[in-house]
A and B are shown apart, each in its own frame.
Chain A
């Protein structure tokens, strides 16, 4: 079964076209990496798939549910790691994750388990505003996977992380996690190595779409020229 099925997806902000003519399918368990320069439409695509933005044209299905009409059916199955951590700065890591756990009906034991996995158990009782951006990103990763989502939408997931943290979080959001993933990236080499499917966006339109094995790093870097 396809996790994602997009046919002619379009989205605009006022007069400006943010996405147009995006058609693709991504089978469950596979990874799609989205490349494109700033403003190419990557974040908009993630937000449409996350049910946070309505598509203005075409059709979008996530796990067979049509968006936006059946968005309620897939919301709990999606984990979004956005540019912003989607966490409250005045609350501690533990309080933020407990809030998220309650919203998703997840047991609070999972919070402690994840804080340990992302190696934040030692600083989990300090307000987020006192933590470094890399630490906040680790908590954001814990929030993203807390409810065990089947689809991960990751916007530059390794931003602000040191190499050790990237390795630590690999089990949660890397290839070993076994979930369907859509990743926005600028790192052509690393992205290509992770991808099953590659989408390259230019001004909101697909400029490159194909299996990772059929594409080269040079083709991807060409998107940025």
Chain B
């Protein structure tokens, strides 16, 4: 299983490295959105709830671009068939795709979070960074799992570009809420605090729940 996941993940990253179809688009979208917020909000900086909301909504919309592209090469170039003909556990594809999407999200945040801090954030990010990274990682896990499920569901339909976001966004809402509430104290101007523990737990439980649902459904999604 580990070898299969490793081989599939290597393929994912190689294809993305050569086509640059997902990560640059996601990053550019996020930075552009922060620029738009910077002017649209008509204020020098944001903090607290507003800062957390702007950050999470932007990251989730940017992640949709990656979700939509996740299975396109497999569907268009026969990679699905090639994989289905192999005598391997189907879950390997789920794990490899989720890990690939997770890697894309981490690279996205490597670009987007400093851009957010530079363009919009009032308080300095330094003290809040470890806590924010923990919240982002929990959110990323959920987005990667749900994104993989939704992408696998949408890619075989004719309206995949529309169906992907339509299915993903409602499922991402609890992640936005949990992520924004957990990171709001970290981004507060006066009293930067710890991430709200109950929202961290909520995020972790949501990740676990969808991890189990996706694991249970994924085989079925790949079948004819």
Binding site for B on A (CB under 8 A): 50-54, 72, 75-76, 78, 80, 82, 84-91, 95, 98-100, 102-105, 127, 143
Contact = CB atoms under 8 A, between A and B. Distances in A.
Contact of A102 (B4, B19, B79): B4
Interface of B: 3-4, 6-8, 10-11, 14-15, 18-19, 73, 77-79, 81-88, 223-224
Contacts of A53: 224
A88 B84 contact: no
Contacts of A75: 84-87
B147 to A, nearest CB: 21
B85 A87 contact: no
B86 A54 contact: no
Contacts of B19: 90
Given A54-B224, A99-B7, A89 B82 contact: no
Contacts of A99: 7-8, 10-11
Nearest to B16: A90
Nearest to A53: B224
Contact of A95 (B3, B14, B84, B224): B14
User: Chain A's interface: helix, strand, loop or mixed, by majority?
Assistant: loop
A44 B11 CA distance: 29
Nearest to B79: A88
Nearest to A77: B87
A54 B4 CA distance: 25
A86 B78 contact: yes
A179 to B, nearest CB: 15
Given A51-B85, A90-B15, A103 B77 contact: no
**Closest 5 pairs between A and B when the two form their complex, measured CB to CB:** A86-B78, A76-B87, A102-B7, A103-B86, A86-B82
Of B11, B78, B82, most A-chain CB atoms within 10 Å: B82
Contacts of A95: 11, 14
A102 B84 CA distance: 14
